[in-house]
Structure 1
């Protein structure tokens, strides 16, 4: 880790499923890229955990790298599995729930 608390991940081959480990009873995250134009964050969810319904002012791409997630967008449920992605539209309420452990990469694009 650097003095800023963030490890420099540039110019390294990264395995998406190794970026953030599962932790019992929680959602864990790790910032991968943080720029004015957007962010990329890795998440791991233990079974039964989730992110409650919320909105964001920007579009985001949620890509599942391990397991299966339930994603709700404006009340409509979607099941997204490893290797699949879904676009979360700006200003629409969405939520994420783990029926089983899963990992995802979230890319937020700011305008």
Structure 2
């Protein structure tokens, strides 16, 4: 049973090549998801965004191609390929694509003691 899906196993891959977005799109590709962690690739077309929301877990974004703008609790961050930002749990945040860009999102959720 594979815990990581939608990506080749035992092969070298370039994450940026695994996803693309056409004009007017935000595309996501889930690689893993359970009650503890979620790992998702995103591709944003120029001008697209994900509006303000929050998460029960800490959300770590790594830009893998292009540049993205992130607003966390009112503070703006501009990230380029290879840069990472952690957006703390429960803080409102949004994602904006002034130009097309791609990112890897990893969310780590609080442990649910009933699962132990």
Task: Calculate the TM-score normalised by the size of structure 1.
Answer: 0.89
* Contact 1:9–1:32 under 8 Å retained in 2: no
Rounded Cα–Cα distance in structure 1 between residues aligned with 2:35 and 2:104: 18
In the alignment, which residue of structure 2 is the partner of 1:106?
105
Rounded Cα–Cα distance in structure 1 between residues aligned with 2:33 and 2:12: 18
> Structure 1 runs of 4+ off > 6 angstroms?
none
Residue 42 of structure 2 is aligned to residue 43 of structure 1:
yes
- The aligned length equals 106
Task: Calculate the TM-score normalised by the size of structure 2.
Answer: 0.85
Gaps of 5+ in 2: 111-116
RMSD: 1.3
Gaps of 5+ in 1: 1-5
Rounded Cα–Cα distance in structure 2 between residues aligned with 1:29 and 1:81: 19
In the alignment, which residue of structure 1 is the partner of 2:79?
80
Structure 1 stretch displaced more, 14-23 or 98-107: 14-23
